Amino acid sequence: MFNIFQIIQEINPEYNHEALANICFEYYPKIYRYIYYRIQQKEEAEDITSEVFLRLVKSVDKIKGGFQGWLYKIAENLLVDYFRRRGVRVRVMETVEDLDAIPEEKSDTMELLKQDDLERDMKFLTTDQYKMIILKYVEGYSTKEIAEIMHKSVGAIKALQFRALETLRKFFTEDTND
């Protein structure tokens, strides 16, 4: 992460480095974890995360909508490129209807997330469900913030959460019954 400041200095010597430092200290660990959970490779995750912040500097004047959502969108696009280069087919994202109210089940879910088989079971989630679980239970974002990051309605995020938790419960129950 520290080399990124040198590279940015070379790209644009007039860039506000104090603002960049604040952004990096706030978002770099979150973006890194988001990427790492998707690819499970430390060096690759560091490289992709650095590229996210380089792209931030190169196109900061083109930000549309919320900054946080824009930053995660860069990360997501780089992840798609990463998987495409490796010949990994990224699952098609589901379309979900908005649901009026799905209860937040954070305490039960946190217990579920502590289980050893979670990583294996998470492979059964759709791409959007996986992203939502990481953003909510690893990064601690609210449903509203996740909706902004993923460019979906709050109802759609609640539907993703409900379906993801149901899928994880199903596989967790099967694992414990074996």
Quick: pLDDT tens for 31-48: 998 898 888 888 999 999
Q: Over 90: is that where the pLDDT of 57 sits?
A: no
Report yes or no on 150 lying in a domain.
yes
In terms of domains, do 141 and 79 share one?
A: no
Q: What is the pTM of this model?
A: 0.57
Q: Provide the residue range defining the domain that includes 76.
A: 2-85
Position with higher pLDDT, 126 vs 3 = 126
Report yes or no on 92 lying in a domain.
no
- CB-CB contact of 119 with 105 (8 Å): no
Report yes or no on 136 lying in a domain.
yes
pLDDT of the residue at 24: 78
Report yes or no on 170 lying in a domain.
yes
Domain closes at, from 85, 118, 144? 85
In terms of domains, do 77 and 113 share one?
A: no
How many folded domains does the chain comprise?
Answer: 2
In terms of domains, do 137 and 73 share one?
A: no
- CB-CB contact of 82 with 163 (8 Å): no
Q: Over 60: is that where the pLDDT of 152 sits?
A: yes
What's 132's domain CATH number? Answer: 1.10.10.10
In terms of domains, do 61 and 25 share one?
A: yes
